[in-house]
């Protein structure tokens, strides 16, 4: 048998060798490795374990800039608008019309959807270290439902980890990204198969899921207003330009609290849309959010939040 023997010598060019040396230097700087001798001594492994807390972030500070690159300058293009522009929200409407509300399940399909959401909520709380206890509202918009929350401890990092877990696949490190991608993969395939079986149950499921999202962001906003999150309450804190351009945030209203108000409004809109679609006959009813109505003076479903209904529009009101 002929066995090829690999050479142990690596014919590296000067450019490749320089890149390799730079990578080793970055590795040593990030993980506490000593490069004073030809061999790599992992001195960080011998350091005392002075930080018992678990850290999710494994992304270096330099790598974070790759996820949020600076805007490139082109000779001809001044600005590129979003293909699907976001509707402009009114600050007063976001405070007045957006609040936590819960739709009671009406049948077996609704109870299945609510049960799945509570199961996912438990798993997400466990993964992100989030914990709170809230009373069920006695009526729609009952302020006591949120103000009656028992004391819990959440700092800026815990809130951020939870929000990243809920909203994106670009986690703060490889471990969290792996968890998010795995959850997204399972959710995508499960949702695809479930929608083939019962679209109404899937819409109700998302409606209940968005109820939890509205509650989460409401509690985060309350923490900021109560001064429990000093880093996010700092007046000098400014949100990224990406968020400013997407939500068309006005000057003077670009704090972390303002950003969470916009995100919560989006979640409330998703709640309304899916609860409404869950109220319709899936085989024959059109989408009421893109339909034209005979009575113009009467409130109807739309893209904005001026006429938003937390529990969704009933079929008799829109069809």
DSSP-based helix, strand, coil % in the chain, nearest 5: 50, 0, 50
Q: Which of 201, 220, 222 is nearest to 277 (CA)?
A: 201
φ, ψ dihedrals at 34, nearest 5°:
-95, 130
Burial of 12 (0-12, 13-18, 19+ CB in 10 A): exposed
Q: Which residues sit in the known binding site for Fe cation? A: 167, 210, 267, 270
Q: What is the DSSP string of 150-194?
A: PP----HHHHHHHHHHHH-S--SSHHHHHHHHHHHHHHHHHHHHH
Give me Rg for the CA atoms of the chain: 25
Virtual torsion, Cα 318, 99, 264, 131, nearest 10 deg? -130
Report the DSSP beta bridge partners of residue 34.
Answer: 41
Phi-psi region of 137 (alpha: psi -120 to 50; beta: other; left: phi over 0): beta
Instruction: Give the CA count within 13 Å in the CB-facing half-sphere of 149.
Output: 17
Neighbours of 246 (CB within 10 A): 13
Angle (nearest 5°) at CA 105 between 147 and 94: 45
41 forms bridges with which residues in the sheet? 34
Residues in the annotated binding site: 167, 210, 267, 270
Phi first, then psi: give them for residue 35, nearest 5 degrees: -115, 25
CA distance 110 to 205: 8
C-alpha to C-alpha distances, 211 to 49, 104, 182, nearest whole angstrom: 41, 12, 23
């Amino acid at each position: 048998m002929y066995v090829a023997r690999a050479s142990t010598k690596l014919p590296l060019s000067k450019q490749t060798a320089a890149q390799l040396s730079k990578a080793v230097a970055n590795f040593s700087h990030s993980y506490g490795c000593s490069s004073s001798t030809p061999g790599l001594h992992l001195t960080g492994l011998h350091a005392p374990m002075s930080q018992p807390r678990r850290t999710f972030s494994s992304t270096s500070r330099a790598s974070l800039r790759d996820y949020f690159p600076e805007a490139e300058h082109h000779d001809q293009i001044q600005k590129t608008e979003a293909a699907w522009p976001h509707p402009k929200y009114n600050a007063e409407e976001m405070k007045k019309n957006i609040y936590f509300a819960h739709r009671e399940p009406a049948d077996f399909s609704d109870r299945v959807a609510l049960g799945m959401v509570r199961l996912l909520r438990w798993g997400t709380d466990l993964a992100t270290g989030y914990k709170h206890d809230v009373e069920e509202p006695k009526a729609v918009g009952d302020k006591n439902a949120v103000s009656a929350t028992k004391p819990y401890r959440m700092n800026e990092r815990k809130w951020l980890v939870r929000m990243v877990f809920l909203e994106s696949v670009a986690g703060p490190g490889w471990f969290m990204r792996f968890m998010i991608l795995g959850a997204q993969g399972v959710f995508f395939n499960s949702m695809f198969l479930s929608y083939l079986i019962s679209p109404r149950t899937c819409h109700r499921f998302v409606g209940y899921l968005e109820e939890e999202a509205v509650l989460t962001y409401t509690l985060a906003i309350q923490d900021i207003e109560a001064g429990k999150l000093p880093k996010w309450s700092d007046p000098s804190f400014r949100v990224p330009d990406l968020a400013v351009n997407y939500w068309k945030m006005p000057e003077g209203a670009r704090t972390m609290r303002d950003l969470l108000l916009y995100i919560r409004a989006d979640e409330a809109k998703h709640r309304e849309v899916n609860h409404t679609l869950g109220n319709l006959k899936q085989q024959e009813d059109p989408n009421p959010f893109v339909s034209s109505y005979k009575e113009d003076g009467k409130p109807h479903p739309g893209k904005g939040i001026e006429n938003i209904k937390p529990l969704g529009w009933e079929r008799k009101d829109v069809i």
